[in-house]
Amino acid sequence: MEVIHLSLLDWVIIILYFGFVIGLGWYLKKFADTKEDFFLAGRRNSIWVCSIAFVSANLGALEILGWTGGTVKYGMFVSHFYWIGAIPAMIFLGLYMMPFYYSSRIHSIPGYLLLRFDEKTRLLNAVSFAVMTVLMSGINLYLMALVFHTILGWNWDLCMWVSAAAVASYIALGGLLSAILTETLQFFLIWFGLFLVSILGIIDVGGFGGLFEGLPERMTSLWATAGNPGNNPMGVTWYGIAIGLGFVLSFGYWTTDFLIVQRAFTAKNLQTARLTPIVASFFKMALPFIVVVAGLVAYKLTAAGNLALERDAAGNITNADSALPLLIARYYPSGLVGLGITALLAGFMAGQAGNTSAFNTVFTYDIYKAAIKKDATDSHLVFVGRLITIVGILLSVVTAYVAKSFPTIMDYIQAIFSWVNAPLFATMLLGMFWKRTTSAGAFWGLIAGMLASFSLFLAFKFKWFSCEWYYYLTFMPSSKALCPQVPSDMTLNLWQAAWAWIVCFILTIVISLFTKPKSDEELQGLVKGLTPDPDLEKVPLYKRPLTWAVVSLAVLIFLNIYFW
Protein backbone atom coordinates (compact mmCIF):
# COMPACT_ATOMS: atom_id res chain seq x y z
CA MET A 1 0.00 0.00 0.00
CA GLU A 2 1.02 3.62 -0.41
CA VAL A 3 2.94 5.06 2.53
CA ILE A 4 1.36 8.03 4.33
CA HIS A 5 3.49 11.16 4.61
CA LEU A 6 2.89 13.02 7.86
CA SER A 7 2.51 16.78 7.88
CA LEU A 8 4.23 19.05 10.41
CA LEU A 9 1.00 19.19 12.46
CA ASP A 10 0.83 15.38 12.55
CA TRP A 11 4.38 15.22 13.90
CA VAL A 12 3.67 17.90 16.49
CA ILE A 13 0.68 15.92 17.84
CA ILE A 14 2.67 12.68 18.09
CA ILE A 15 5.71 14.36 19.71
CA LEU A 16 3.52 16.25 22.19
CA TYR A 17 1.89 12.99 23.24
CA PHE A 18 5.23 11.27 23.84
CA GLY A 19 6.53 14.30 25.71
CA PHE A 20 3.43 14.54 27.89
CA VAL A 21 3.38 10.92 29.09
CA ILE A 22 7.11 10.89 29.82
CA GLY A 23 6.88 14.26 31.57
CA LEU A 24 3.94 13.02 33.63
CA GLY A 25 5.97 10.03 34.76
CA TRP A 26 8.84 12.32 35.78
CA TYR A 27 6.48 14.63 37.71
CA LEU A 28 4.79 11.72 39.52
CA LYS A 29 8.10 10.21 40.58
CA LYS A 30 8.05 12.24 43.80
CA PHE A 31 4.65 10.73 44.67
CA ALA A 32 5.83 7.13 44.18
CA ASP A 33 8.52 6.67 46.79
CA THR A 34 6.68 4.18 49.02
CA LYS A 35 5.59 0.68 48.02
CA GLU A 36 1.91 1.60 48.55
CA ASP A 37 2.27 4.55 46.19
CA PHE A 38 4.44 2.86 43.57
CA PHE A 39 2.53 -0.43 43.34
CA LEU A 40 -1.03 0.62 44.29
CA ALA A 41 -1.17 4.37 43.50
CA GLY A 42 -1.74 5.10 47.19
CA ARG A 43 -5.25 3.51 47.19
CA ARG A 44 -6.90 6.92 46.76
CA ASN A 45 -8.46 6.95 43.28
CA SER A 46 -12.07 7.88 42.51
CA ILE A 47 -14.64 5.69 40.76
CA TRP A 48 -14.20 7.44 37.41
CA VAL A 49 -10.42 7.22 37.39
CA CYS A 50 -10.50 3.56 38.46
CA SER A 51 -13.22 2.59 35.95
CA ILE A 52 -11.60 4.30 32.98
CA ALA A 53 -8.20 2.84 33.88
CA PHE A 54 -9.87 -0.57 34.34
CA VAL A 55 -11.12 -0.50 30.73
CA SER A 56 -8.10 1.28 29.34
CA ALA A 57 -5.72 -1.38 30.66
CA ASN A 58 -7.59 -3.76 28.34
CA LEU A 59 -7.45 -1.36 25.37
CA GLY A 60 -4.25 -2.67 23.89
CA ALA A 61 -3.50 -4.52 20.68
CA LEU A 62 -6.12 -7.14 21.56
CA GLU A 63 -8.94 -4.63 21.53
CA ILE A 64 -8.11 -2.17 18.80
CA LEU A 65 -6.24 -3.85 15.99
CA GLY A 66 -6.86 -7.47 16.87
CA TRP A 67 -10.63 -7.36 17.03
CA THR A 68 -11.02 -4.97 14.11
CA GLY A 69 -9.15 -7.57 12.08
CA GLY A 70 -11.10 -10.27 13.90
CA THR A 71 -14.35 -8.71 12.68
CA VAL A 72 -13.12 -8.95 9.09
CA LYS A 73 -12.66 -12.68 9.75
CA TYR A 74 -15.57 -13.48 12.10
CA GLY A 75 -18.11 -10.67 11.59
CA MET A 76 -20.50 -9.61 14.37
CA PHE A 77 -19.47 -12.69 16.37
CA VAL A 78 -16.58 -10.56 17.66
CA SER A 79 -19.13 -8.60 19.72
CA HIS A 80 -19.48 -11.69 21.91
CA PHE A 81 -15.99 -10.98 23.26
CA TYR A 82 -17.19 -7.55 24.42
CA TRP A 83 -20.66 -8.44 25.66
CA ILE A 84 -21.28 -12.03 26.78
CA GLY A 85 -17.51 -12.46 27.07
CA ALA A 86 -16.99 -9.55 29.46
CA ILE A 87 -20.03 -7.94 31.10
CA PRO A 88 -21.33 -10.82 33.31
CA ALA A 89 -17.80 -11.46 34.58
CA MET A 90 -17.17 -7.78 35.34
CA ILE A 91 -20.42 -7.61 37.28
CA PHE A 92 -19.59 -10.81 39.19
CA LEU A 93 -16.19 -9.38 40.10
CA GLY A 94 -17.72 -6.21 41.50
CA LEU A 95 -20.57 -7.82 43.40
CA TYR A 96 -18.99 -10.98 44.79
CA MET A 97 -15.21 -11.16 44.46
CA MET A 98 -13.99 -7.63 45.11
CA PRO A 99 -14.88 -7.72 48.84
CA PHE A 100 -12.42 -10.61 49.30
CA TYR A 101 -9.72 -8.94 47.22
CA TYR A 102 -9.94 -5.40 48.58
CA SER A 103 -10.60 -6.20 52.23
CA SER A 104 -7.58 -8.50 52.49
CA ARG A 105 -5.33 -5.53 51.49
CA ILE A 106 -3.35 -7.67 49.06
CA HIS A 107 -1.04 -6.21 46.42
CA SER A 108 -1.76 -8.87 43.79
CA ILE A 109 -3.88 -11.91 42.91
CA PRO A 110 -1.04 -14.28 43.87
CA GLY A 111 -1.11 -12.48 47.23
CA TYR A 112 -4.67 -13.72 47.76
CA LEU A 113 -3.61 -17.28 46.87
CA LEU A 114 -0.93 -17.06 49.58
CA LEU A 115 -3.45 -16.05 52.24
CA ARG A 116 -6.13 -18.52 51.09
CA PHE A 117 -3.85 -21.47 50.32
CA ASP A 118 -0.05 -21.49 50.61
CA GLU A 119 3.28 -20.24 49.27
CA LYS A 120 3.71 -22.82 46.51
CA THR A 121 0.30 -22.01 44.98
CA ARG A 122 1.16 -18.31 45.10
CA LEU A 123 4.53 -18.89 43.37
CA LEU A 124 2.98 -21.12 40.71
CA ASN A 125 0.48 -18.44 39.75
CA ALA A 126 3.03 -15.62 40.03
CA VAL A 127 5.46 -17.28 37.63
CA SER A 128 2.76 -18.28 35.13
CA PHE A 129 1.24 -14.79 35.25
CA ALA A 130 4.64 -13.13 34.79
CA VAL A 131 5.29 -15.25 31.70
CA MET A 132 1.83 -14.43 30.33
CA THR A 133 2.27 -10.66 30.79
CA VAL A 134 5.61 -10.72 29.01
CA LEU A 135 4.04 -12.58 26.08
CA MET A 136 1.15 -10.11 25.96
CA SER A 137 3.54 -7.15 26.14
CA GLY A 138 5.41 -8.55 23.19
CA ILE A 139 2.20 -8.74 21.18
CA ASN A 140 1.45 -5.08 21.93
CA LEU A 141 4.90 -4.06 20.75
CA TYR A 142 4.68 -6.22 17.64
CA LEU A 143 1.31 -4.89 16.51
CA MET A 144 2.29 -1.29 17.16
CA ALA A 145 5.40 -1.68 15.06
CA LEU A 146 3.34 -3.43 12.37
CA VAL A 147 0.96 -0.47 12.16
CA PHE A 148 3.62 2.17 11.81
CA HIS A 149 5.64 0.07 9.40
CA THR A 150 2.54 -0.60 7.28
CA ILE A 151 1.04 2.87 6.99
CA LEU A 152 4.03 5.14 7.59
CA GLY A 153 6.88 3.08 6.21
CA TRP A 154 8.86 3.47 9.44
CA ASN A 155 11.54 0.96 10.32
CA TRP A 156 9.92 -1.95 12.18
CA ASP A 157 12.66 -2.27 14.80
CA LEU A 158 12.87 1.47 15.45
CA CYS A 159 9.09 1.71 16.07
CA MET A 160 9.23 -1.06 18.62
CA TRP A 161 12.24 0.22 20.54
CA VAL A 162 10.96 3.82 20.73
CA SER A 163 7.60 2.68 22.13
CA ALA A 164 9.28 0.30 24.59
CA ALA A 165 11.57 3.08 25.83
CA ALA A 166 8.64 5.47 26.33
CA VAL A 167 6.59 2.97 28.35
CA ALA A 168 9.59 1.91 30.43
CA SER A 169 10.41 5.50 31.34
CA TYR A 170 7.02 6.63 32.62
CA ILE A 171 6.21 3.37 34.45
CA ALA A 172 9.65 3.14 36.05
CA LEU A 173 9.42 6.76 37.20
CA GLY A 174 5.82 7.09 38.37
CA GLY A 175 4.76 3.50 39.00
CA LEU A 176 1.12 2.46 38.86
CA LEU A 177 -0.17 6.01 39.41
CA SER A 178 1.63 7.11 36.27
CA ALA A 179 0.16 4.17 34.36
CA ILE A 180 -3.38 4.89 35.57
CA LEU A 181 -3.31 8.61 34.77
CA THR A 182 -1.86 8.05 31.31
CA GLU A 183 -4.41 5.27 30.73
CA THR A 184 -7.15 7.78 31.53
CA LEU A 185 -5.72 10.14 28.92
CA GLN A 186 -5.34 7.27 26.48
CA PHE A 187 -8.98 6.28 26.89
CA PHE A 188 -10.19 9.64 25.63
CA LEU A 189 -7.58 9.77 22.89
CA ILE A 190 -8.76 6.39 21.61
CA TRP A 191 -12.39 7.51 21.48
CA PHE A 192 -11.71 10.91 19.93
CA GLY A 193 -9.07 9.59 17.56
CA LEU A 194 -10.75 6.41 16.32
CA PHE A 195 -14.52 6.80 16.63
CA LEU A 196 -14.39 9.10 13.60
CA VAL A 197 -13.14 6.14 11.53
CA SER A 198 -16.41 4.30 12.18
CA ILE A 199 -18.52 7.38 11.46
CA LEU A 200 -16.76 8.13 8.17
CA GLY A 201 -16.89 4.45 7.26
CA ILE A 202 -20.64 4.29 7.80
CA ILE A 203 -21.10 7.40 5.66
CA ASP A 204 -18.86 5.91 2.97
CA VAL A 205 -20.92 2.71 2.66
CA GLY A 206 -24.29 4.48 2.70
CA GLY A 207 -25.29 4.57 6.38
CA PHE A 208 -26.18 1.71 8.72
CA GLY A 209 -28.50 0.26 6.12
CA GLY A 210 -25.72 0.29 3.56
CA LEU A 211 -23.29 -1.26 6.04
CA PHE A 212 -25.38 -4.40 6.49
CA GLU A 213 -26.83 -4.49 2.99
CA GLY A 214 -25.41 -7.31 0.92
CA LEU A 215 -23.45 -8.86 3.79
CA PRO A 216 -24.16 -12.55 4.49
CA GLU A 217 -26.15 -13.34 7.64
CA ARG A 218 -23.15 -15.13 9.12
CA MET A 219 -21.34 -11.75 9.25
CA THR A 220 -24.21 -9.68 10.72
CA SER A 221 -25.75 -11.76 13.51
CA LEU A 222 -24.84 -12.74 17.06
CA TRP A 223 -26.98 -15.80 17.79
CA ALA A 224 -29.10 -16.53 14.70
CA THR A 225 -26.36 -18.64 13.09
CA ALA A 226 -25.00 -20.17 16.30
CA GLY A 227 -27.14 -23.30 16.17
CA ASN A 228 -24.88 -24.97 13.61
CA PRO A 229 -21.09 -24.45 13.50
CA GLY A 230 -21.16 -24.68 9.73
CA ASN A 231 -23.34 -21.56 9.49
CA ASN A 232 -21.01 -19.04 11.14
CA PRO A 233 -17.44 -17.98 10.35
CA MET A 234 -16.14 -18.87 13.81
CA GLY A 235 -17.44 -22.44 13.47
CA VAL A 236 -18.84 -22.47 17.00
CA THR A 237 -22.20 -23.26 18.62
CA TRP A 238 -24.19 -21.15 21.07
CA TYR A 239 -23.19 -23.38 24.00
CA GLY A 240 -19.53 -23.10 22.99
CA ILE A 241 -19.92 -19.32 23.23
CA ALA A 242 -21.82 -19.51 26.52
CA ILE A 243 -19.51 -22.01 28.25
CA GLY A 244 -16.08 -21.56 26.67
CA LEU A 245 -16.23 -17.77 26.30
CA GLY A 246 -19.09 -16.48 28.48
CA PHE A 247 -18.10 -18.51 31.52
CA VAL A 248 -14.57 -19.93 31.47
CA LEU A 249 -12.45 -17.49 29.44
CA SER A 250 -14.47 -14.43 30.42
CA PHE A 251 -14.58 -15.05 34.16
CA GLY A 252 -11.02 -16.35 34.10
CA TYR A 253 -9.78 -13.11 32.53
CA TRP A 254 -11.92 -10.40 34.16
CA THR A 255 -11.92 -11.80 37.71
CA THR A 256 -8.40 -13.22 38.08
CA ASP A 257 -6.14 -11.34 35.64
CA PHE A 258 -4.16 -9.02 37.89
CA LEU A 259 -3.41 -6.67 35.00
CA ILE A 260 -7.08 -5.63 35.06
CA VAL A 261 -8.06 -6.18 38.70
CA GLN A 262 -5.08 -4.14 39.94
CA ARG A 263 -6.86 -0.94 38.84
CA ALA A 264 -9.72 -1.62 41.25
CA PHE A 265 -7.22 -2.25 44.06
CA THR A 266 -6.24 1.45 43.83
CA ALA A 267 -9.75 2.62 44.77
CA LYS A 268 -10.14 4.84 47.83
CA ASN A 269 -12.58 2.46 49.56
CA LEU A 270 -14.40 -0.86 49.13
CA GLN A 271 -17.53 0.79 47.74
CA THR A 272 -15.49 2.40 44.95
CA ALA A 273 -13.59 -0.82 44.31
CA ARG A 274 -16.85 -2.78 43.86
CA LEU A 275 -18.30 -0.16 41.53
CA THR A 276 -15.15 0.01 39.39
CA PRO A 277 -15.74 -3.05 37.14
CA ILE A 278 -19.52 -2.42 37.06
CA VAL A 279 -19.18 1.18 35.83
CA ALA A 280 -16.44 0.03 33.46
CA SER A 281 -18.88 -2.48 31.93
CA PHE A 282 -20.81 0.38 30.28
CA PHE A 283 -17.64 1.63 28.56
CA LYS A 284 -16.82 -1.93 27.52
CA MET A 285 -20.23 -2.43 25.90
CA ALA A 286 -19.73 0.70 23.79
CA LEU A 287 -16.41 -0.34 22.24
CA PRO A 288 -17.87 -2.50 19.42
CA PHE A 289 -19.20 0.73 17.93
CA ILE A 290 -15.56 1.52 17.13
CA VAL A 291 -14.01 -1.90 16.60
CA VAL A 292 -16.78 -4.04 15.09
CA VAL A 293 -18.24 -1.27 12.94
CA ALA A 294 -14.77 -0.47 11.55
CA GLY A 295 -14.20 -4.17 10.87
CA LEU A 296 -17.48 -4.53 8.97
CA VAL A 297 -16.68 -1.42 6.94
CA ALA A 298 -13.27 -2.91 6.09
CA TYR A 299 -14.87 -6.23 5.12
CA LYS A 300 -17.37 -4.51 2.82
CA LEU A 301 -14.78 -2.25 1.20
CA THR A 302 -12.44 -5.21 0.65
CA ALA A 303 -15.22 -7.24 -0.97
CA ALA A 304 -15.83 -4.32 -3.35
CA GLY A 305 -12.12 -4.01 -4.11
CA ASN A 306 -11.84 -0.60 -2.41
CA LEU A 307 -9.47 -1.57 0.42
CA ALA A 308 -6.08 -3.18 -0.05
CA LEU A 309 -6.36 -6.14 2.34
CA GLU A 310 -4.29 -8.94 0.87
CA ARG A 311 -5.70 -12.37 -0.04
CA ASP A 312 -4.05 -15.73 -0.55
CA ALA A 313 -4.60 -18.10 -3.47
CA ALA A 314 -7.75 -19.47 -1.82
CA GLY A 315 -9.23 -15.97 -1.44
CA ASN A 316 -8.72 -15.73 2.33
CA ILE A 317 -7.67 -12.35 3.77
CA THR A 318 -4.15 -12.65 5.13
CA ASN A 319 -3.48 -9.24 6.74
CA ALA A 320 -6.73 -8.49 8.58
CA ASP A 321 -4.80 -6.84 11.44
CA SER A 322 -4.02 -4.00 9.03
CA ALA A 323 -7.71 -3.14 8.52
CA LEU A 324 -7.89 -0.21 10.96
CA PRO A 325 -4.63 1.48 9.83
CA LEU A 326 -5.82 1.17 6.22
CA LEU A 327 -9.11 2.85 7.13
CA ILE A 328 -7.24 5.69 8.84
CA ALA A 329 -5.16 6.12 5.71
CA ARG A 330 -8.34 6.15 3.60
CA TYR A 331 -10.44 8.60 5.62
CA TYR A 332 -8.17 10.96 7.56
CA PRO A 333 -6.77 14.05 5.84
CA SER A 334 -3.34 15.51 6.54
CA GLY A 335 -3.27 16.91 10.06
CA LEU A 336 -5.95 14.54 11.32
CA VAL A 337 -3.75 11.53 10.59
CA GLY A 338 -1.55 12.57 13.51
CA LEU A 339 -4.54 12.27 15.85
CA GLY A 340 -5.41 8.83 14.50
CA ILE A 341 -1.81 7.63 14.79
CA THR A 342 -1.60 9.03 18.33
CA ALA A 343 -4.84 7.26 19.26
CA LEU A 344 -3.43 3.96 18.00
CA LEU A 345 -0.19 4.66 19.85
CA ALA A 346 -2.18 5.41 23.01
CA GLY A 347 -4.01 2.12 22.70
CA PHE A 348 -0.82 0.14 22.38
CA MET A 349 0.86 1.98 25.20
CA ALA A 350 -2.19 1.49 27.45
CA GLY A 351 -1.98 -2.25 26.96
CA GLN A 352 1.78 -2.19 27.35
CA ALA A 353 1.59 -0.07 30.52
CA GLY A 354 -1.01 -2.40 32.01
CA ASN A 355 1.12 -5.47 31.39
CA THR A 356 4.28 -3.75 32.63
CA SER A 357 2.83 -2.39 35.88
CA ALA A 358 1.19 -5.74 36.68
CA PHE A 359 4.43 -7.58 35.88
CA ASN A 360 6.59 -5.41 38.13
CA THR A 361 4.15 -5.78 41.06
CA VAL A 362 3.79 -9.56 40.81
CA PHE A 363 7.51 -10.13 40.29
CA THR A 364 8.54 -7.81 43.14
CA TYR A 365 6.05 -9.05 45.73
CA ASP A 366 5.27 -12.62 44.74
CA ILE A 367 8.59 -13.83 43.36
CA TYR A 368 11.42 -11.56 44.57
CA LYS A 369 10.17 -10.82 48.10
CA ALA A 370 8.65 -14.28 48.55
CA ALA A 371 11.56 -16.40 47.34
CA ILE A 372 14.67 -14.22 47.11
CA LYS A 373 14.74 -11.46 49.76
CA LYS A 374 12.01 -11.88 52.35
CA ASP A 375 13.30 -9.05 54.56
CA ALA A 376 13.37 -6.41 51.79
CA THR A 377 12.60 -2.86 52.92
CA ASP A 378 10.02 -0.60 51.28
CA SER A 379 12.66 1.47 49.51
CA HIS A 380 14.41 -1.65 48.28
CA LEU A 381 11.13 -3.04 46.85
CA VAL A 382 10.48 0.23 45.00
CA PHE A 383 14.00 0.06 43.56
CA VAL A 384 13.45 -3.54 42.45
CA GLY A 385 10.07 -2.56 40.99
CA ARG A 386 11.71 0.14 38.86
CA LEU A 387 14.53 -2.16 37.80
CA ILE A 388 12.25 -5.05 36.88
CA THR A 389 10.14 -2.66 34.80
CA ILE A 390 13.13 -2.16 32.52
CA VAL A 391 13.83 -5.91 32.48
CA GLY A 392 10.19 -6.66 31.66
CA ILE A 393 10.24 -4.24 28.74
CA LEU A 394 13.41 -5.84 27.35
CA LEU A 395 11.84 -9.30 27.64
CA SER A 396 8.75 -7.93 25.86
CA VAL A 397 10.93 -6.84 22.95
CA VAL A 398 12.22 -10.41 22.68
CA THR A 399 8.70 -11.86 22.68
CA ALA A 400 7.64 -9.28 20.10
CA TYR A 401 10.03 -10.90 17.65
CA VAL A 402 8.44 -14.27 18.54
CA ALA A 403 4.94 -12.85 18.00
CA LYS A 404 6.04 -11.59 14.60
CA SER A 405 6.20 -15.20 13.41
CA PHE A 406 2.55 -15.95 14.29
CA PRO A 407 0.06 -15.38 11.44
CA THR A 408 -3.04 -15.35 13.70
CA ILE A 409 -2.38 -13.06 16.65
CA MET A 410 -5.93 -13.12 18.07
CA ASP A 411 -6.04 -16.91 18.19
CA TYR A 412 -2.62 -16.90 19.86
CA ILE A 413 -3.78 -14.44 22.53
CA GLN A 414 -6.88 -16.46 23.40
CA ALA A 415 -4.71 -19.58 23.67
CA ILE A 416 -2.50 -17.82 26.24
CA PHE A 417 -5.55 -16.92 28.33
CA SER A 418 -6.72 -20.53 28.25
CA TRP A 419 -3.38 -21.74 29.64
CA VAL A 420 -3.31 -19.46 32.68
CA ASN A 421 -6.62 -17.73 33.41
CA ALA A 422 -9.08 -20.55 32.72
CA PRO A 423 -7.80 -23.03 35.35
CA LEU A 424 -7.06 -20.18 37.79
CA PHE A 425 -10.73 -19.17 37.75
CA ALA A 426 -11.71 -22.66 38.92
CA THR A 427 -9.19 -22.38 41.77
CA MET A 428 -10.41 -18.91 42.80
CA LEU A 429 -14.07 -19.85 42.57
CA LEU A 430 -13.65 -22.85 44.85
CA GLY A 431 -11.31 -20.95 47.16
CA MET A 432 -13.74 -18.09 47.71
CA PHE A 433 -17.01 -19.99 47.89
CA TRP A 434 -16.11 -23.42 49.37
CA LYS A 435 -14.16 -23.28 52.60
CA ARG A 436 -13.40 -27.02 52.34
CA THR A 437 -10.98 -26.31 49.45
CA THR A 438 -7.49 -27.25 50.61
CA SER A 439 -4.04 -25.99 49.70
CA ALA A 440 -3.06 -29.34 48.19
CA GLY A 441 -6.23 -29.44 46.11
CA ALA A 442 -5.67 -25.91 44.81
CA PHE A 443 -2.02 -26.48 43.89
CA TRP A 444 -2.37 -29.82 42.10
CA GLY A 445 -5.69 -28.87 40.53
CA LEU A 446 -4.14 -25.70 39.10
CA ILE A 447 -1.14 -27.57 37.70
CA ALA A 448 -3.41 -30.21 36.14
CA GLY A 449 -5.64 -27.57 34.55
CA MET A 450 -2.70 -25.67 33.08
CA LEU A 451 -1.14 -28.87 31.73
CA ALA A 452 -4.47 -29.99 30.26
CA SER A 453 -4.91 -26.70 28.43
CA PHE A 454 -1.36 -26.55 27.09
CA SER A 455 -1.43 -30.22 26.07
CA LEU A 456 -4.64 -29.69 24.11
CA PHE A 457 -3.10 -26.62 22.48
CA LEU A 458 -0.14 -28.69 21.28
CA ALA A 459 -2.43 -31.54 20.20
CA PHE A 460 -4.62 -29.19 18.18
CA LYS A 461 -1.66 -27.32 16.72
CA PHE A 462 0.27 -30.40 15.62
CA LYS A 463 -2.85 -32.40 14.66
CA TRP A 464 -2.32 -35.31 17.03
CA PHE A 465 -6.05 -36.16 16.81
CA SER A 466 -8.08 -37.46 13.91
CA CYS A 467 -10.61 -34.99 12.52
CA GLU A 468 -13.56 -36.66 14.29
CA TRP A 469 -11.91 -36.19 17.67
CA TYR A 470 -11.80 -32.42 17.18
CA TYR A 471 -15.58 -32.43 17.19
CA TYR A 472 -15.85 -34.81 20.15
CA LEU A 473 -13.51 -32.63 22.22
CA THR A 474 -15.51 -29.51 21.32
CA PHE A 475 -18.80 -31.20 22.24
CA MET A 476 -20.02 -31.12 18.63
CA PRO A 477 -20.04 -34.84 17.65
CA SER A 478 -22.98 -34.34 15.29
CA SER A 479 -20.81 -31.94 13.26
CA LYS A 480 -18.08 -34.50 12.48
CA ALA A 481 -19.67 -34.78 9.03
CA LEU A 482 -17.85 -31.52 8.30
CA CYS A 483 -14.55 -33.45 8.20
CA PRO A 484 -11.90 -33.05 6.86
CA GLN A 485 -12.59 -29.42 7.86
CA VAL A 486 -11.78 -28.97 11.57
CA PRO A 487 -13.22 -26.29 13.89
CA SER A 488 -11.63 -22.85 13.74
CA ASP A 489 -8.67 -22.00 15.98
CA MET A 490 -10.92 -19.73 18.04
CA THR A 491 -13.42 -22.55 18.65
CA LEU A 492 -10.59 -24.83 19.74
CA ASN A 493 -9.35 -22.13 22.14
CA LEU A 494 -12.79 -21.81 23.75
CA TRP A 495 -13.07 -25.53 24.42
CA GLN A 496 -9.42 -25.83 25.36
CA ALA A 497 -10.18 -23.29 28.11
CA ALA A 498 -13.33 -25.19 29.11
CA TRP A 499 -11.41 -28.45 29.51
CA ALA A 500 -8.75 -26.67 31.58
CA TRP A 501 -11.45 -25.35 33.91
CA ILE A 502 -13.21 -28.73 34.17
CA VAL A 503 -10.00 -30.64 34.95
CA CYS A 504 -8.88 -28.08 37.57
CA PHE A 505 -12.33 -27.84 39.17
CA ILE A 506 -12.91 -31.59 39.51
CA LEU A 507 -9.39 -32.50 40.62
CA THR A 508 -9.33 -29.69 43.19
CA ILE A 509 -12.58 -30.98 44.73
CA VAL A 510 -11.40 -34.61 44.78
CA ILE A 511 -8.03 -33.84 46.38
CA SER A 512 -9.63 -31.42 48.85
CA LEU A 513 -11.98 -34.15 50.10
CA PHE A 514 -8.97 -36.26 51.07
CA THR A 515 -6.74 -33.56 52.54
CA LYS A 516 -6.99 -31.27 55.55
CA PRO A 517 -8.53 -27.78 55.08
CA LYS A 518 -7.56 -24.63 56.96
CA SER A 519 -9.49 -23.65 60.08
CA ASP A 520 -12.26 -21.05 60.04
CA GLU A 521 -10.01 -18.67 61.94
CA GLU A 522 -7.40 -18.79 59.17
CA LEU A 523 -10.03 -18.09 56.51
CA GLN A 524 -11.60 -14.99 58.02
CA GLY A 525 -12.11 -12.37 55.31
CA LEU A 526 -11.11 -14.78 52.54
CA VAL A 527 -14.14 -17.06 52.06
CA LYS A 528 -17.87 -16.53 51.61
CA GLY A 529 -19.62 -16.99 54.93
CA LEU A 530 -16.52 -16.01 56.88
CA THR A 531 -16.32 -12.49 55.44
CA PRO A 532 -18.69 -9.72 56.59
CA ASP A 533 -20.99 -8.52 53.81
CA PRO A 534 -20.47 -4.85 52.83
CA ASP A 535 -22.69 -2.52 54.85
CA LEU A 536 -24.90 -0.70 52.34
CA GLU A 537 -27.71 0.47 54.63
CA LYS A 538 -26.55 4.08 54.56
CA VAL A 539 -25.64 4.07 50.85
CA PRO A 540 -28.28 5.64 48.55
CA LEU A 541 -29.87 3.23 46.09
CA TYR A 542 -28.36 5.00 43.08
CA LYS A 543 -24.84 4.50 44.49
CA ARG A 544 -25.16 0.79 45.21
CA PRO A 545 -23.24 -1.72 43.05
CA LEU A 546 -26.31 -3.96 42.65
CA THR A 547 -28.36 -1.13 41.17
CA TRP A 548 -25.87 -0.42 38.40
CA ALA A 549 -25.26 -4.13 37.88
CA VAL A 550 -28.96 -4.60 37.07
CA VAL A 551 -28.87 -1.65 34.64
CA SER A 552 -25.76 -3.04 32.95
CA LEU A 553 -27.36 -6.48 32.53
CA ALA A 554 -30.50 -4.88 31.08
CA VAL A 555 -28.44 -3.05 28.45
CA LEU A 556 -26.55 -6.27 27.69
CA ILE A 557 -29.78 -8.20 27.13
CA PHE A 558 -31.15 -5.44 24.88
CA LEU A 559 -28.01 -5.41 22.70
CA ASN A 560 -28.06 -9.18 22.27
CA ILE A 561 -31.73 -9.21 21.30
CA TYR A 562 -31.39 -6.23 18.94
CA PHE A 563 -28.45 -7.78 17.07
CA TRP A 564 -29.74 -11.35 17.35
pLDDT tens over the chain, length 564 residues: 455 666 777 778 777 877 776 676 666 555 545 545 444 444 566 777 778 777 777 776 567 777 787 787 777 888 888 888 888 888 988 888 787 777 666 666 777 888 888 888 888 888 887 777 777 777 777 777 776 676 667 777 777 777 677 666 666 655 555 566 666 677 777 777 778 888 888 888 878 777 777 777 777 778 877 777 777 777 777 777 887 777 787 887 788 777 777 777 777 777 888 888 898 888 888 888 888 888 888 888 877 666 766 665 555 666 666 777 778 777 877 767 777 777 777 777 666 766 777 777 777 777 777 777 777 776 777 777 778 777 877 887 777 776 665 545 655 666 777 778 888 888 988 988 888 999 999 999 999 998 988 888 888 777 787 777 777 777 777 666 677 777 777 777 778 888 888 999 999 999 999 999 888 888 887 787 777 666 555 777 777 888 888 998 999 899 888 888
Domain formed by 8-403+534-562, architecture = Up-down Bundle (1.20)
**How many other C-beta atoms are found inside a 10 Å radius of the C-beta of residue 541?**
8
Burial tier of 145 (Cβ tally within 10 Å: 0-12, 13-18, 19+): buried
Task: Please give the pLDDT value at position 37.
Answer: 47
Q: 142 with 407: CB under 8 angstroms?
A: no
Task: Please give the pLDDT value at position 318.
Answer: 60
pTM of the model: 0.76
Task: Please give the pLDDT value at position 515.
Answer: 92
Least Cα distance to 122 among 433, 384, 370 occurs for: 370
CA torsion 260-281-79-487 (nearest 10°) is: 50
> Domain residue spans in the chain?
8-403+534-562, 412-525
Task: Please give the pLDDT value at position 506.
Answer: 94
Least Cα distance to 134 among 336, 378, 402 occurs for: 402
Q: How far is CA 200 from CA 197, 215, 296, in A?
A: 5, 19, 13
Give the span between the Cα atoms of 101 and 113, in whole angstroms: 10
